[in-house]
Every structure is written in structure tokens, then in C-alpha cells.
Amino acid sequence: MKSALKFAEYLIKPNKSILLNNKVKSWENLSCKLVTNPNGEIAKTTRANIGDMSLWLEADFREKLPEAALEVDCMFKELPSVEKVFHRPKSALSTEPKLLREIKNTENNSYNSIQEASAKVLDGIGSRVITKSLDKLSSKEIKSMVDNMIYKNNPLDAKQKKLLMDYIYEKPIHHSLEKEAYSLFREFAQPLIEKRSKDVVEQLTLSILKYRVTTGDITLKALENQGFNRKFLDRMFSEHALPYNITKISNYAGPHGLPEFSDSQIQELYKALNTGKKGSDRIIINTAGQSLSLYYPQEQITEMSKSVTKQAGYRTAQLNIAHVNGAKGEIQFRGAMTNLIAEYEHIAYDLRQGKNTIGPIFSEYTDAISKLSDKDYSRYNEYLEKWYNYYNRLELGLPAKKPQLPKGLNKVLSKENLEKLYHENHYSESKTLSHFGPYVIGVA
């Protein structure tokens, strides 16, 4: 006599599945304890319980998506600088590995309820705000900006002007001057960054302040006393400025790249979040080693600062929010061109981390990545970062030269080939999914 089935496998996509209990409990009774086998692997009981939780959470995210999406659309969709806004609920397939990782960091290595598990998922609703590119600058406009630039409270001298112009036009620079050249370029680009993101940062600032005023955290008078302009504050009463409970903002960029929000904008957002507060755990993590917090110790802030500098150039301004309907959301702000490369740039990193979640179309690319030495992988990251910087320069209206794959690296690793593989894989998956329906099969 065969024993009753204890577990089931839910095939969400071809060759991609999660484990479930054969008899799923109601969501009110879901709980999970981390259990491992003698060989250290996570036991099926744990994986099945987390699989159940992941499915219930996906259903909850999908239910809350329309209202949460409407909030974000109302805030940003009609801004002149915004090209488009789109949203997605986090899937069970994405939630399950997150919960498996995080259970090790919970009290008693347990989720005692679905609410405890949900607290670990900060991006149940993912929204992306794509901003428009600036018009291309003429050589005359660039020269005028350089001539009138103030750096560390002083005008540029002739040597600094030449160094900056060489960097802008990507002329060869001696390695001893690269750090100074990048610092000059970063300062030069601040007005362009601010011009491109002005609308969204002002809207965010108003929403943060509106949340604080409506919850009684601070008064309009106190905000005026802190230097906020009254005409600006009056804009928070617009129907498009919704009160947003923002707990964290991360301004990601590569080591030689430019962030989505300028340093001054980061300071303004921090002021909006924390002015008049003591010990707030709201935090902003910025590039160039600038993290701002009233709550975390300096050592932890320093570590957080490192996390937003991405070696392969990933760039976005990302914030965590609590939507009005209780959904936890993540909003990312980026340009259309850098958004495209972000769709596939991370594949190399995932492969190096052992997260092989891509299709067989990538087999040759996967093999080439696995054969890279640490030194060559570092060179490859530098190459990918140059592509981010290339697209970001175009988004800011600046001159840009297409990067070349470093000598000695397999041509399979080129950005052009990676992009081609990404689109082929996307087409292949879409075609396969059109004939595929998720289903459950019993397992022993």
C-alpha cells in the first residue's frame, strides 16, 4: 500500500517550481520552522511551508496591486519629465528564495505567521518610473558650463578646465589624474542630474512632508522654521501629492558613474524625512560614501554606503514605501536606456553567485563567465559599467563613446551579444509560456 503524498510540486514556469504541502492550510494557520537534514540541506517540510506562504503572499500582492499602482501613477505619471510608469506584483517564484534566506535571520529561525513572513518582503509591489532624456548639449553649451563651474567654492583654473574637458570627451587621461577628473565630472554633471530628476524629487519631497504633517509628526510652521518655502509647502495639498511613508532611499551607481539623484537632492530628501526628529530609523544611502541617518551607528552606515556602489555599474534611485492599503512597495527611478541594460547586466553576477535561473540559450555565455579568473571578471565588470555610463551620458545630453570589449575576453561576453541573448530568451520564454499553464503534481 502506497503512503499518502506529503508534498506537491507547483510548476510555475517550465523547469521552475516550488515545493508545497499536499494539503495546504488556510493562510491564518501558516507557520514555518527552519529544519535542516543531517547533510545541511533545508528539509522538505520547511521548503513546503515556505512554498505555501509564497503562494499566499503572491495572491495578496496581486490583490493589492491595482490600488498601489494607482497611487504611484497619480504621483508620477503626468509629470513632464516622466516617460512611463509600470508595476508588477512579486511572484511566488521570487518570494520563496527570499523567505528561505531570511528565515535564518528571524527569532528562533521561524515564521510564526504569514504576517511575519510578509515583513521580510519589502518589494511586494514593484514600481518603476522611467524618466525622459535631456536634449543633447552642444560643444558651446558644454564649454560654457565648464567655464562657469564652481568647484570647492572656487572657479576652475586652466589645468582643471582642460582635465574636465578631456574627461567629458573621453580623451586619454593619465591614471594619476583619473580620480580628480572623475570628481570634477561628478560636480559638473550635478545640474544635469537635477534637471532630469527635478520633477520626481520635488514630488517625493512633498509626499514625505505631507505624510509627516497628516500624521502629526511635524507642523507646517515647524517646516517653515526649518527653511522650507511656504509656496512649495502649499503644493502638498494638491491631489497628486499623496502622503508617502518612506523608510529608506538607496541611490545606486557604479564607482565611476553618476547617480540618479544629485548629492543636493539627497540632502533635501533627507531633510524632508528627518528634520525635527530624534533617533529616526529612516535612512538614505548615497554613493560617494554618503549615508545619512539619525539612528544607525557610524560603522553600520559605512557598510551600508558600500552596498550602493555597484562594480558593474547598476544605477537607480530606489525607495521603500508603505502603500495606503498596507502593501509594501519598492519604487525605482531610472532612464529608459539605463533601464534596458539593467534588465540583463545582472546575469553575469547571478551566474558567479551560482544563481543559474536563465535558459539554455545562455549556455555558451554561462560557460564563458565560469571560466573568467577573478582579475578578468573585474575587467568585465569595468566594461559593463562603461556601458551604463555610456547610456547615462546620452540620457544627460553629453557626448559618449561606445565601450569596447577588453582584449582577451571571449566575444560571447560582449554587451551586444548579451543583449541579443536576452531578447532571444525573452521571446523563447514568451512563446513557451503561451502554451504552458501552471500546475501541481504530487511528489513523495
Q: What is the tens place of the pLDDT at every residue in 362-399?
A: 999 999 999 999 999 999 999 999 999 999 999 999 99
For residue 366, what are the CA distances in angstroms to 83, 253, 314, 363, 371?
34, 25, 20, 5, 9
- Contact assessment for residue 328 and residue 245, using Cβ atoms and an 8 Å cutoff: no
CB 96 within 8 A of CB 103: no
Long-range contacts from 320-323, C-beta under 8 angstroms, 24+ separation: 320/122, 320/123, 320/246, 320/247, 320/248, 320/249, 321/244, 321/245, 321/246, 321/247, 322/245, 322/247, 323/64, 323/67, 323/68, 323/71, 323/125
Cell of 362: 545562455
Cα(38)–Cα(355) distance, integer angstroms:
24
Alpha-carbon span 388 to 312, nearest angstrom? 8
Q: Whose CA is closest to 322, among 68, 57, 63, 60?
A: 68
Please list the helix, strand and coil fractions of the chain in percent, rounded to the nearest 5, in that order.
Answer: 50, 15, 30
Give the 3-state secondary structure of residue 251: strand
Phi, psi of 34 (to 5 degrees): -70, 120
Q: Which three cell numbers stand for residue 232?
A: 512649495
Determine the pLDDT at residue 352: 81
- Give yes or no for a contact between 357 and 429, defined as CB atoms under 8 angstroms apart: no
Instruction: Give the CA diameter of the chain.
Output: 89
Query: Which residue matches cell numbers 549615508?
Result: 291
pTM, whole model, 2 decimals? Answer: 0.90
Q: d(Cα 61, Cα 55) in Å, to the nearest integer?
A: 10
Residue 377, pLDDT score: 94
pLDDT of residue 444: 57
- How far, rounded to the nearest angstrom, does the alpha carbon of residue 240 sit from its chain's CA centroid? 24
335: closest CA among 248, 264, 258? 258
20, 328, 65, 27: CA torsion to nearest 10: 30
Q: What is the 3-state secondary structure (H, E, C) of 52-91?
A: HHHHHHHHHHHHHHHHHHHHHHHHHCCCCCEEEEEEEECC
Rg over alpha carbons for the chain, rounded to the nearest Å, is 24
Answer whether 298's CB lies under 8 Å from 224's CB: no
Q: Which residues of the chain have pLDDT under 50?
A: 1-2
CB 419 within 8 A of CB 403: no
